DNA sequence: GAAAAAGATTGAATGAGTTCATTTTTTTAG
DNA sequence: CTAAAAAAATGAACTCATTCAATCTTTTTC
């Protein structure tokens, strides 16, 4: 049996991730102690550290899975966006936002964001940053697609505009998770308002409402 | 002598803030122990906690002072901005960036940002957020001023545009402090590029180069 | 199949932030 | 001026993330 060790490893890894995600959601990140996670996963505290560098790493791992799904959910919209620029932007952005709280609480997002800022060189933070970059690219691609279709004036730097729109929607999402009382609808409404001017200005004249 | 207690309090507060800022710059945030800060400030560890809720609070206090100066430095530019839209934006943004590393290291910025995300309800985090809001308003005011002057087309929602531009410059600054090797010049160049499309589109036709 | 090597697990020890019952200092009341 | 009350300072004790030397398990070697 060549893979006994590998199989045990994969199994332990899964148990740790499940135990941690469950506890983070149930009692919050800070209150979830490594000792508790280890106990639920049926391993020792020391073993936890053979699988993850520190407590934050496992949270960022959970967040990465969620972002990956968000990215997937955005693809069909980039493939076949609504004709009007503002509608296309809003469709993609709201898709992101709707997916964001599926598995993660606001507190988990806050903690993950804090870690990715504070320890930018840890492997999982790099992964988080890379996923953010791919989301940003997706927005730029949507704008590029609209330009090819003729809905956006030619000559505009779609990458620059895409970065600005993404950075804005990202910051607004950060504000959203920082405020435990803000509902998703408020976030969506605000961001839609912020995007309206740039969408209008970019639109080819004949297509502007 | 009515104010003995008040005077001692102010004095201790100053000593703590000075000791902490010095240690954060000299050895970094993590390596600066409360015990060391207390020793330099000539107080006990317990007393530290009578003045600040936790280690992070004192860092956010130091950052707040810096942001206040940045805000001050932006005023003259909003009062009397360059005529071209892109030049005005770049002047204000670069002013912000140039001031940002006067007293604070990148590591201090990272830690402060992480704390303000993770503990949004602590008093000093609220202060930090409020200052960010005032910076955002300053950008919107610059754009409003340019619109009044006729450099920007009437009818554009200057607040929405200002928020988007600010959120973008803020995110880019975050990326800058996350990357220990990125020079200020790269940050400025990137952000200038990102702002060019929106500046061009907003500009009144006769004033576009 | 046994012994040696390699790889993992373990949990007690470490270290730093934070708490809190006690002590000290300052103010107020009589 | 003295005693009681209020406010502040103190540092030992506590908690929890993290480490690491010892132990155990799996794989390889012959």
- For chain B, what's the residue count? 209
User: What's residue B122's pLDDT?
Assistant: 86
Mean pLDDT of B184-203: 97
Question: How much is the mean pLDDT over chain A?
Answer: 93
**What is the domain-level CATH number for residue A109?**
1.10.357.10
> Where residue B208 falls among pLDDT bands split at 50, 70, 90?
very low
State pLDDT tens for residues A156-173: 999 999 999 999 999 999
* CA nearest neighbour of B171 among B193, B182, B187, B157: B187
A30 and A62 in a single domain? The answer is no
Query: Do both A187 and A148 map to the same domain?
Result: yes
A153: phi then psi, degrees, rounded to nearest 5: -55, 140
- Enter the DSSP assignment of A82: -
Which pLDDT score is estimated for A103?
87
Mean pLDDT across the stretch A73-96? Answer: 97
Size of interface A-B (CB pairs under 8 A): 91
CA distance B201 to A103: 40
Residue A76, phi then psi, degrees to nearest 5: -60, -30
Q: Chain D: nucleotides under 7 Å from a protein CB?
A: 7-13, 16-21, 26-28
In this structure, what CATH number is given to the domain that contains residue B4?
A: 1.10.10.60
C-alpha atoms less than 13 angstroms from C-alpha of A10 in its C-beta half-sphere? 4
Q: Which nucleotide is nearest to A50 (CA to C1')?
A: C8
Domain boundary residue, one of A35, A51, A67: A51
Overall average pLDDT of the A1-19 stretch: 87
20-79 of chain A touching strand D, CB 7 A cut-off: 30, 32-35, 45-46, 49, 54-56
* Minimum Cα–Cα distance from B153: chain A residue: A201
Same domain, residue pair A20 and A61: no
Q: Which residue is nearest to nucleotide D19 (CA to C1')?
A: A46
- The alpha carbons of chain A give a radius of gyration, in whole angstroms, of 20
Q: How far apart are CA A75 and CA B21, in angstroms?
A: 47
- State how far the Cα of B179 lies from the Cα of B107, in Å rounded to an integer: 10
Is there a single domain that holds both residue A39 and residue A61?
Answer: no
pTM value is 0.91
**Contact flag B172-A168 (C-beta cutoff 8 Å):** no
Nearest to A156 among B160, B168, B197 (CB): B197
The protein residue nearest nucleotide D9, judged by CA to C1', is: B47
| C-alpha span between B11 and B41 (Å, rounded) | 10
Q: CB of A170 within 8 Å of any CB in chain B?
A: yes
**High-pLDDT (> 70) share of chain B, %:** 97
Report H helices in B29-118.
34-41, 45-51, 55-79, 85-100, 106-118
Q: Are residues A71 and A168 in the same domain?
A: yes
Nearest Cα of chain B lies from the Cα of A180 at a distance, in angstroms, of 9
* Shared domain check, A74 and A174: yes
Q: Inform me whether the C-beta atom of residue A35 falls under 8 Å from chain B C-beta atoms.
A: no
Residue lying closest to nucleotide D15, CA to C1' = A33
Section A4-9 average pLDDT: 86
- Taking the Cβ of residue A126 and every Cβ of chain B, the question of whether any pair is shorter than 8 Å is answered with no
Q: Is the CB of A193 under 7 A from strand C?
A: no
Widest distance between CA atoms in chain B? 69
The whole-number pLDDT of residue A5 equals 79
Q: Is B30 exposed, middle or buried (0-12, 13-18, 19+ CB in 10 A)?
A: exposed
Residue of B nearest to A29 (CA): B118
Where residue A32 falls among pLDDT bands split at 50, 70, 90? Answer: very high
Q: Answer yes or no: do A164 and B198 touch at CB < 8 A.
A: yes
Domain of residue A24 covers 1-51
Q: Are residues B199 and B169 in the same domain?
A: yes
Nearest CA in chain B to A129: B175
The percent of residues above 90 in pLDDT, for chain A, comes to 86
Total count of domains within chain A: 2
pLDDT above 90: residue A130 = yes
3-class secondary structure, B203:
strand
Percent of chain B with pLDDT over 90: 88
Write out pLDDT tens, residues B108-123: 999 999 999 999 988 8
Residues A23 and A69 in one domain: no
**Chain B CB contacts of A202 below 8 Å:** 201
Band (pLDDT 50/70/90 cuts) for residue A124 is confident
List helix spans (H) across chain A: 4-27, 34-40, 45-51, 55-79, 85-100, 106-118, 123-148, 158-178, 184-202
pLDDT at A196: 97
Q: How confident is the model at residue B124 (pLDDT cuts 50, 70, 90)?
A: confident
pLDDT in the model for residue A73:
95
ipTM attached to this prediction: 0.88
Please answer whether residues A80 and A125 qualify as being in contact, where contact means their C-beta atoms are separated by less than 8 angstroms.
Answer: no
Mean of pLDDT over chain B = 93
pLDDT at B2: 53
- Identify whether the C-beta of residue A113 lies closer than 8 Å to the C-beta of residue A177: yes
All residues at 6 or more sequence positions from A97 whose CB lies less than 8 Å from its CB, including other chains: A173, A176, A184, A187, A188
The phi-psi region of residue A128 (left if phi > 0; otherwise alpha if psi is between -120 and 50; otherwise beta) is alpha
Residue A30 in contact with partner chain B when CB distance is under 8 A:
no
The three-point CA angle A187-B64-A106 to 5° equals 30
Which residue in A137, A191, A90, A70 sits closest to B163, CA to CA? A191
pLDDT tens digits, B24-67: 999 999 999 999 999 999 999 999 999 999 999 999 999 998 99
Q: Do residue B96 and residue B186 come from a single domain?
A: yes
Output the pLDDT for position B97: 97
Residue B109: closest C-alpha in chain A: A118
Distance from CA of A158 to the nearest CA of B (A): 9
Q: What is the band of A2 on the pLDDT scale with cuts at 50, 70, 90?
A: low
Residues B64 and B10 in one domain: no
Q: Give the nucleotide at minimum CA-to-C1' distance from A44.
A: C10
Q: Does one domain contain both A125 and A144? A: yes
Among A9, A36, A51, give the residue marking a domain's end: A51
User: Same domain, yes or no, for A60 and A106?
Assistant: yes
């Amino acid at each position: 049996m060549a893979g006994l060790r590998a199989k045990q490893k994969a199994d332990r890894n899964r148990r740790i991730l499940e135990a941690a995600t469950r506890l983070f959601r149930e009692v919050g990140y800070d209150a979830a102690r490594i000792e508790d996670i280890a106990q639920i996963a049926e391993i020792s505290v020391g073993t936890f550290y053979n699988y993850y560098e520190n407590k934050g790493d496992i949270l960022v791992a959970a967040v990465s899975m969620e972002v990956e799904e968000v990215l997937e959910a955005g693809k069909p919209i980039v493939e076949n966006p609504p004709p009007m620029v503002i509608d296309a932007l809003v469709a993609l952005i709201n898709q992101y936002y709707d997916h964001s709280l599926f598995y993660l609480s606001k507190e988990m997002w806050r903690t993950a964001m804090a870690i990715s800022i504070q320890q930018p060189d840890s492997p999982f933070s790099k992964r988080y940053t890379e996923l953010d970059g791919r989301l940003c690219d997706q927005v730029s691609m949507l704008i590029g697609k609209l330009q090819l279709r003729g809905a956006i004036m030619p000559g505009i730097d779609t990458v620059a505009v895409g970065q600005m729109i993404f950075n804005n929607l990202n910051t607004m999402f950060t504000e959203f998770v920082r405020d435990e009382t803000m509902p998703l609808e408020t976030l969506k409404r605000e961001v839609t308002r912020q995007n309206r001017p740039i969408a209008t200005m970019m639109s080819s004249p004949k297509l502007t409402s």
